[in-house]
């Protein structure tokens, strides 16, 4: 068990901007757990960068006291990778939803996974497109009726945990926004892990998803750690990733240590991160370039 930071300690990560999510949205729990995890790891807000794409959940960078960037739809992970490669000393967290990350952004997601860049990706998975008022998303289950599937969804739901495992992720976990302490522990482990960390969070949309509710999840979730799960076993992790309709695994499915992209990249290995590179411009050249664009 991790001794989590107190709410008072986590308050240093509270933004002056108040969250605008619907009352009861699971994303409130995700925000609180992320703040607690960062405080537990004693991260300085100036050393934390939170990057997102587009969607209800992607508003999170504005609600946490840190550096942040609200990017284009599906591009949060791509920008976050650039931030980490530019300055290795920063703690980089990408946040977004299932539509943003597993739909339009899935290409960036899977390649970040296989590169093993040292960053954390937190996906608020509500099995629906919330911002656009209730269409089927990549993780909506078959037969579910939504605005875009009034006769029932005919597509198979994407398994993001299985996709990450097969892509070569070194840390794969699932949390539930209805379990604040458990989620904060998972996020603490994910951020502390050296390599790409995926935290898929069951984060109910109380407005547009009337199926995958808090009550629905509470009847099904179980903690892997209480079942003697071996987080170093790919076979055990894949098996746990398949649990859904009747039982859903929470906790760290898989965690192994392997070299990160930054450690292996010849340019950064020899010359260090980009932020330390000299531009090679004289003062006069620099001033002339500035003048041209000002």
Render pLDDT for 23-46 as a digit per residue (tens, 0 to 9): 999 999 999 999 999 999 999 999
Question: How far apart are alpha carbons 88 and 118 in whole angstroms?
Answer: 8
Domain 7-293, what fold? Rossmann fold (3.40.50)
pLDDT for 293: 85
Q: What confidence tens digit (pLDDT) does each residue in 236-245 have? A: 999 999 999 8
With cut-offs at 50, 70 and 90, classify the pLDDT of residue 48.
very high
> What pLDDT is stored for residue 151 in this prediction?
97
**Statement: residue 281 has pLDDT above 90:** no
pLDDT at 121: 98
pLDDT at 290: 86
Q: Please compute the mean of the pLDDT values over residues 81-102 and round it to a whole number.
A: 97
User: How confident is the model at residue 63, as a pLDDT?
Assistant: 98
Q: What is the mean pLDDT of residues 187-194?
A: 98
Domain extents for the chain?
Answer: 7-293
Give the whole-number percent of the chain exceeding pLDDT 70. 100
- pLDDT at position 218 is 97
209: left (phi over 0), alpha (psi -120 to 50) or beta: beta
Closest to 36 in 3D by CA, of 181, 249, 250, 153: 181
Is this structure's pTM higher than 0.85? Answer: yes
Residues 6+ apart with CB under 8 A from 244: 141, 157
Beta strands at 197-202 and 120-125: parallel, antiparallel or unpaired: parallel
Please compute the mean of the pLDDT values over residues 184-198 and round it to a whole number.
Answer: 98
Residue 286: which pLDDT band, with cuts at 50, 70 and 90?
Answer: confident
Q: Is the pLDDT of residue 160 over 90?
A: yes
**Averaged pLDDT of the chain:** 96
> Around Cβ 273, how many Cβ atoms within 10 Å?
17
What does the pLDDT read at residue 279? 75
> In the chain, pLDDT over 90 holds for what percent of residues?
90
Cβ atoms of residues 98 and 127 within 8 Å = yes
What are the tokens at 34? Answer: 């992320």
For range 75-86, the mean pLDDT: 97
Note the pLDDT of residue 283. 86
Higher per-residue pLDDT: 110 or 268: 110
Residue 188: which of 120, 241, 123, 247 has the closest Cα?
Answer: 120
Average pLDDT over residues 272-278: 84
How much is the pLDDT for 276? 86
pLDDT of 88 reads 95
| Kind and range of the H or E run holding 250 | strand 248-255
pLDDT value for 216: 97
């Amino acid at each position: 068990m991790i001794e989590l930071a107190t709410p008072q300690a986590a308050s240093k990560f509270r933004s002056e901007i108040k969250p605008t999510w619907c009352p009861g949205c699971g994303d409130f729990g995700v925000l609180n757990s992320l703040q607690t995890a960062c405080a537990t790891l004693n991260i300085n807000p100036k050393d934390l960068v939170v990057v997102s794409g587009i969607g209800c959940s992607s508003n999170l960078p504005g609600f946490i006291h840190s550096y942040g960037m609200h990017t284009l739809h599906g591009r949060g992970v791509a920008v976050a990778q650039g931030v980490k490669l530019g300055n290795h000393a920063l703690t980089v967290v990408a946040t977004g939803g299932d539509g943003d990350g597993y739909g339009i952004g899935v290409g960036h997601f899977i390649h970040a996974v296989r590169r093993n860049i040292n960053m954390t990706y937190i996906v608020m998975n509500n099995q629906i497109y919330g911002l656009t008022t209730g269409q089927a998303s990549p993780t909506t289950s078959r037969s579910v009726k939504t605005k875009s599937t009034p006769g029932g969804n005919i597509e198979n739901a994407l398994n993001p945990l299985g996709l990450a495992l097969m892509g070569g992720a070194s840390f794969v976990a699932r949390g539930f926004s209805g379990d604040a302490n458990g989620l904060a522990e998972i996020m603490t482990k994910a951020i502390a892990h050296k390599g790409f960390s995926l935290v898929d969070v069951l984060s109910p949309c109380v407005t547009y998803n009337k199926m995958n509710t808090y009550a629905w999840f509470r009847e099904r979730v179980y903690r892997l750690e209480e079942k003697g799960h071996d987080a170093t076993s790919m076979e055990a992790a894949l098996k746990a990733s398949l649990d859904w309709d009747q039982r859903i695994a929470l906790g760290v499915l898989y965690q192994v240590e392997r070299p990160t992209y930054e450690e292996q990249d010849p340019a950064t290995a020899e010359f260090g991160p980009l932020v330390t590179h000299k531009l090679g411009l004289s003062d006069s050249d620099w001033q002339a370039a500035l003048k041209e664009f000002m």
